[in-house]
Amino acid sequence: MSDLIRPEIKALSAYHVADAGGMIKLDAMENPYGLPDDLIARWLQKISHAALNRYPDPHAAELRDSLRGYMQIPADQAIMLGNGSDELIQMMAMAVAQPGRSILAPEPGFVMYKMIATFVGMDYIGVPLRDDFSLDLPAMLAAVKAQQPALIFLAYPNNPTANLFDEQAMLDIIQASQGLVIVDEAYQPFAGESFMPRLGQFENLLVMRTVSKMGLAGLRLGLLAGNPKWINEFDKVRLPYNINVLTQITAQFALDNASVFEAQATSIREQRSWLLNELNKLADLQVYPSRANFILVRFGKKNASKVFELLKQQGILIKNLSPAGGALDQCLRITVGTSDENRAFVSALRKCLHA
């Protein structure tokens, strides 16, 4: 029985989430703002009527309609909801997985694409980005042509590099691919750019969104929009009640009060500018441009892992990407926090650099 677990699963390490007890948490691209008190009171009122004894609406029809309006999803495009966009990636992979089939994504990129490929027994092709983290279009097109991946994921903006890829390069990849291209717009509230209006233009284009980064990471709700021809098939591998009652009610409530989240996103974008400006003043630090709610930096002489540990000792948790090595050697990723949190971070970082 010792070979019961597949070797590729045995070789994995479980997705690690750092313990942030009592620390300033700038590691996971969460919105640092909670809900205002008056909104919490009204939300409690709403969920007090939740029918917890009943199964949720399996199609979350009301919420889906609201999301369609809010995210301006074209009327001829279908929508599927997931327990976070992670679950949507998993459902797409499950629906296409076959021996020899592959998932392709630029590297460095979002780690779940590769993990989920492994879960479902698909090959994973990581195509390196250029040194400035832009798409290497010839390399992407060569890989697409040679491997014809079933799924291509393009995070827009990309995580962990924070940049938006060139729009024309993405269109070239969509047109060159016989498989599906999923534009992952997890950071759309901070980028202001979207492929959503292009959905009708390409049959093999899908757009994925999540409410996680806009301030509702605890809800676990993601959305996939695209041609009904694909979405209707993916929907067959969806577990019937994947969006629970409390998530349906709460997400609907959030959309009814969307201006609160939009104002928070505006603050985060302002704080991002402030943080970029402060970081750019520091020596020994390469600061990459950001269209997301986080910033990637690379250290020169200072050891990034050591800076990460020193920050932790000062009660500030960010993400250390340096152990991944390669293109992320000496890199740390900082989620944009509140003004106070960002100030605390910058002053702690200055101390580290002088240590």
Ligand X SMILES: *Cc1c(COP(=O)(O)O)cnc(C)c1O
Residue 155 within binding range of ligand X, rule CB under 6 A: yes
Cα 20 to chain centroid, rounded: 20
Burial 34-59 (b: 16+ CB within 10 A, else e): ebeeeeeeebeeeeeeeeeeeebeee
**Segment interacting with ligand X, rule: CB under 6 A, options 42-50, 82-90, 190-198, 252-260:** 82-90
Beta strands in 96-217 (DSSP E): 102-107, 123-128, 151-155, 180-184, 205-210
Smallest gap from Cβ 28 to ligand X, in A, equals: 8
In the complex, least distance from residue 237 CB atom to ligand X, rounded to whole angstroms: 17
> Does residue 85 bind ligand X (CB under 6 A)?
yes
**What is the number of the residue whose Cβ is closest to ligand X?**
84
Site for ligand X in 222-281 (CB under 6 A): 222
Stretch that binds ligand X, among 11-19, 37-45, 83-91, 261-269 (CB under 6 A): 83-91
**C-beta of 210: minimal distance to ligand X in Å?**
3
Q: Which of 90, 125, 151, 184 binds ligand X (CB under 6 A)?
A: 184
Cβ–Cβ under 8 Å, residues 80 and 240:
no
List the one residue from 102, 159, 250, 293 that touches ligand X (CB under 6 A).
Answer: 159
HEC per residue, 226-243: ECHHHHHHHHHHCCCCCC
Do residues 81 and 243 lie in contact, with contact meaning Cβ atoms separated by under 8 Å? Answer: yes
Work out whether 296 is an interface residue with ligand X (CB under 6 A): no
Total number of residues binding ligand X (CB under 6 A)? 13
| Cβ distance to ligand X smaller for residue 60 or 348 | 60
Please give the residues from 2 up to 31 whose contact with ligand X meets the rule CB under 6 A: 29
Contact between 164 and ligand X per CB under 6 A: no
What is the sign, positive or negative, of the torsion defined by CA atoms of 41, 46, 51, 56? negative
Q: Does 189 bind ligand X (CB under 6 A)?
A: no
Of 111 and 344, nearer to ligand X (C-beta) is: 111
What residue type is assigned to position 220 of the chain?
Answer: R
Under the binding rule (CB under 6 A), the answer on residue 210 touching ligand X is yes
- One-letter amino acid identity for 345? F
Query: What is the helix, strand, coil percentage profile of the chain, to 5?
Result: 45, 15, 40
CB proximity list for 96: less than 8 A, separation 6 or greater: 122, 150, 151, 179, 180
Instruction: Determine the interface stretch with ligand X among 9-17, 143-151, 209-217, 266-274 (rule: CB under 6 A).
Output: 209-217
Task: Please report, as ranges, the residues that interact with ligand X according to CB under 6 A.
Answer: 29, 84-86, 110, 155, 159, 184, 186, 210, 212, 217, 222
